[in-house]
Structure formats: C-alpha cells, structure tokens
Amino acid sequence: MACKRGALIVLEGVDRAGKTTQCTKLVEALQDGGRAAHMMRFPDRLTTIGQLISSYLENKSDLEDHSVHLLFSANRWELVPLMKKKLEEGTTLIVDRYAFSGVAFTSAKPGFSINWCKAPDVGLPKPDLVLFLQLNPSAAAQRGQFGSERYETSSFQQRVEGRFEELMADTTVNWQVIDASQSIDEVHENIKRLSMNALTAAEDRPIGELWK
C-alpha cells in the first residue's frame, strides 16, 4: 500500500518577518508529533547555481536582472526531483521562500511585470499552503537593522510587500495571512494549526502544479 504523501508548506514574507525561526519551530513540532518533516530554503546557496546567486546577493558579483531571475527559478527546478521524492515518501516539506519571493522581488524592479516573472516557475510543485508572515514596515524596522545584502533597504522592501499583496489576490493558491507582529509562540501556534489542516487535506490529493 502506498503511504500518504507529505504536504508542501511554504513560508513567505518580507525580510525580518520571522520566516526562518518559524520554519525551524514548525519542523521541530511536526517531528515531535511523530511526523516526517524536512526544512528547505530558497535560494539554496549550496548548489552551483546557488553559489552564483549567493555571490550576487552579497554584492560580490553583478548579474543582469532577467538572468538572475532565471537563476533563482533554475535553483528551484534543480531541487524538484528531491522535493517530489520526499513528498511521495510521506515527508512534509517546510520551505523558507519559494516562487512567490522570486516574483515579488524581481517584479519590484523597474520594467518587470508579474506575468513575465511568473513564467519560468509555472508547473513547479504547488504548495498545499502558503503562509504569509505579515509585518508592517515600522514593526520590521524595530527588529534591528537591515543586513548588507542586495534588496535589504526599506524602500525596496515596501515595493516587495506591494507585489506580495498582488500575488495574494490569486485564489488558486492557498494563501493564509499570519500576523507576524505577535510573539514567536503565538505565531507558531497559528502556523501549527493551519499546517495540521493542510497536512490532512494533502494526504488524499495529488501534488498540484503551480500557476497552471
């Protein structure tokens, strides 16, 4: 008998919303509950493509804007075989950023439409749940200074937030908005509850294709 598949759960949001902290806590909670869970993050800076992206983000190299957008997408596609294998084995994937960050960040640059940005990611494994950790810019600013990576300025992050809002209007994706200004534990409880529902719903459904 085939085992039930895992769920694909993505956390999105602007920088400093708490995605990485919450992904880690969610994986721990699922594993403590006896479920197979695995954390991934995009960009995955460890692959050959990921190293090009990492150098770009650290301002150690310059890449043309369209070109780097396609590299971010290629970095997701190169991990699709692994993602599918894990999901089919019954492992739930908790993913720190996905195609939505890809579209939101590139389309925050001048001259990029949302539709152009979505195209290379059409057909990726579709998340069963996308949790958007929403934090207003002033609350984010209180969480400390931005780092020195590319895109880490408040004016750019404002534009990214606006693009995320546009993406969230798409009802073919299961978006859930989380108030990320709450305490770490409160945010975690909300995320856990929504994730448990998604896990159950995913069991009897094939893995979908994003934006198709």
Contacts with ligand NYM, residue ranges (CB under 6 A): 15, 42-43, 57, 72, 97, 101-102, 105, 151
Cα–Cα distance between 107 and 195 in angstroms, integer? Answer: 28
Binding-site ranges for Mg ion (CB under 5 A):
15
Residue 158 token pair: 């404002």
Cα–Cα distance between 156 and 31 in angstroms, integer? Answer: 36
Using CB atoms within 10 A of its CB, is residue 22 exposed (0-12), middle (13-18) or buried (19+)? buried
- Name which of 112 and 151 has its Cβ closer to ligand NYM: 151
Rounded to a whole number of angstroms, the minimum distance from the CB of residue 99 to ligand NYM is 7
Closest residue to ligand NYM, judged by C-beta, is 102
Closest residue to Mg ion, judged by C-beta, is 15
**Which option in Mg ion, ligand NYM, none does residue 11 bind, with CB closer than 5 to 8 A by kind?**
none
Rounded to a whole number of angstroms, the minimum distance from the CB of residue 72 to ligand NYM is 3
Only one residue has tokens 């084995």, namely: 89
- Name which of 42 and 175 has its Cβ closer to ligand NYM: 42
Rounded to a whole number of angstroms, the minimum distance from the CB of residue 63 to ligand NYM is 11
Cα–Cα distance between 79 and 82 in angstroms, integer? Answer: 5
